[in-house]
Amino acid sequence: MRINWFSNAPWGPSGYSNQTALFVPRIRSLGHEMSITAFWGLQGGRLDWQGVPVFSGAFDPHGQDIMGFYAKSWRADILLTLYDTWVMNLDNPHMEGVPFVPWFPVDHEPMPAGVAKKIERAMYGIAYSQSGVKAAKERGIEVGYVPHGTDTEIYKPKMRQLSRKQIGLPQDCFIAAIVAMNKGLPPRKAWPQQMQAFAEFHAKHPDSKLYMHTLMTPETGGYNLWDLVKTLGLEDAVIVPEQFQYIVGYPPSFVAEIYNSADVLMMATSGEGFGLPIIEAQACGTPVIAGGWTAMEELVHAGWTIDRSEAVPNITQLSAKQYIPSVDAIVDRLEQAYDMANADREKLRVTAREAMLENYDADLILEKYWKPELAIVEERLADYKKTSIPVSKGKAEPNRAQRRRAARKKNKDG
C-alpha cells in the first residue's frame, strides 16, 4: 500500500513525533510505500527524511486544511493518522474519497461522543491502548489494536551513578522525575497536584530532588511553572533541563539517562491516550507512579497506581471524565518508592525491564500487531474500492492511467 502518515514531524520532541520516527521506517520495511504529512514540525516546504517524503503544514494548527490534500496529491491508498481524532474535519472537501485509518487515543472515560463520531466514519480504526479498544466497544464500534512502542536498545538499564554523572545530577539523594509537556489549562498532566505532592514529600525528606523535563514557561499554553516552584518553596529542590535545548529537542539517549537517574517516574496525570514515559522509564528499569485510569493502568508493570477512589472526576470540554489525582495519594506512593529496600528495588527493576521487552519493544509491535492489522486494512481497502468507484452509464470511470493510454492510442491512430 501507499500510506500517507499524518502526524507530527519525526524529528520533534512530542510523543507523536516519537512514534512517527519509530514506526514509519519499520512499516516501510514491510514493503509499504510511505509519506508523512508533518502538519507540526515543518513549515513552508517539503523534504525527505530517511528516504520518505515529508510534506509541511499550512495554516490550521491541527493540519485540517492540508490533511486530505496531501493524501490525494501523493495518490495514497490510505490516510493513516496519528493524532487526536476529535479535532479532525472529515467534511473538508479534500477528504472526500480518502480512505481514513486513524491510529487513535482515548484519554477520557467513556469515549467522548466527538471521538466516536469520527471513528465511526473511518474505513478502519486502530486504538493504541486496550482501554481505547474497550471504550470503542462500549460505543458499538469495532476497532483494531496496535500499542505504542519504544526502542529498547536506547531505553535500557544503566548504572544510576553513571547516568547521574552523565547529565549532571546529584548522586546522594532520592530523585523523582516528571517527563511531560507543560500544556493546557487546566493541565492534563496534573502539574499542580504532582508538584504539591512532591513538596509535601520533600518537607519530610529533604534529601530528595524533583527533575522536571519540561518547558517551565507558558509559551505552549500551560503554567509558568517557575511561579509554582516558588509558591511551593521548591527553589532548591527542582532541577530542569537547559530550556532552549529542551525547545530544540534533546535526543532520546539523553531522556534515557533521565529515567536511569531517577528512583521513580511521576506520571499521575488526569488522563492518557497512552503515556509513553511510563513504558520508556520501565524499559530502563525505573518504577513509575501513574493514574489507574484511561491507558495508564495497563502500562504499569513495576510501580504504583492511584485508584479512581483517590481522585476527583473532572468533566472536560469533551463532556467525558478525566481524573484529578489526590495529592495525598501521590505522597503515599512517593513514600512507598522511598522506603523500598535495595533488594526489592532490584527485583522491581528486573520486572520492569522484562515486561517492556515482552510487551512494548518496537520490533515486537511491528511483527505482532502492525503486520496483521495492516493486512486487515488491505482487506478493508479492497472492499472500499469496490463500493467507491464512481460509475457513468453503468460502467466504471477510467482511471488516470487508463485515460493516458487511451489518449496515446488515439494520437497514434490519428
Q: Mean pLDDT, to the nearest integer, of 51-55?
A: 98
Q: How far is CA 164 from the centre of its chain?
A: 27
DSSP-derived pairing of the beta strands 52-57 and 46-49: antiparallel
Share of the chain above pLDDT 70, in %: 94
State residue 412's pLDDT score.
55
For 237-254, the pLDDT digits (tens) are 999 999 999 998 999 999
State residue 214's pLDDT score.
98
Asked whether 282 and 361 are in contact (CB, 8 A), the reply is no
State residue 245's pLDDT score.
95
Q: How far apart, in Å, are the Cα atoms of 336 and each of 136, 201, 307, 332?
A: 35, 11, 15, 6
Report the amino acid identity of residue 177: A
Q: How sure is the predictor about 389, in pLDDT bands with cuts at 50, 70 and 90?
A: low
State residue 386's pLDDT score.
87
For 118-130, the pLDDT digits (tens) are 999 999 999 999 9
State residue 405's pLDDT score.
55
Q: How far apart are CA 50 and CA 24, in angstroms?
A: 10
State residue 338's pLDDT score.
97
Count of alpha carbons within 13 angstroms of residue 234, beta-carbon side: 28
Q: What is the residue-averaged pLDDT of the chain?
A: 94
pLDDT surpassing 50 at residue 392? no
For 288-338, the pLDDT digits (tens) are 999 999 999 999 999 999 999 999 999 999 999 999 999 999 999 999 999
**Which residues have CB under 8 Å from 131's CB, separation 6+?**
106, 294, 295, 297, 298
Asked whether 197 and 331 are in contact (CB, 8 A), the reply is yes
State residue 100's pLDDT score.
98
pLDDT surpassing 60 at residue 67? yes
pLDDT surpassing 70 at residue 398? no
**Which residues have CB under 8 Å from 330's CB, separation 6+?**
193, 194, 197, 198, 266, 268, 289, 306
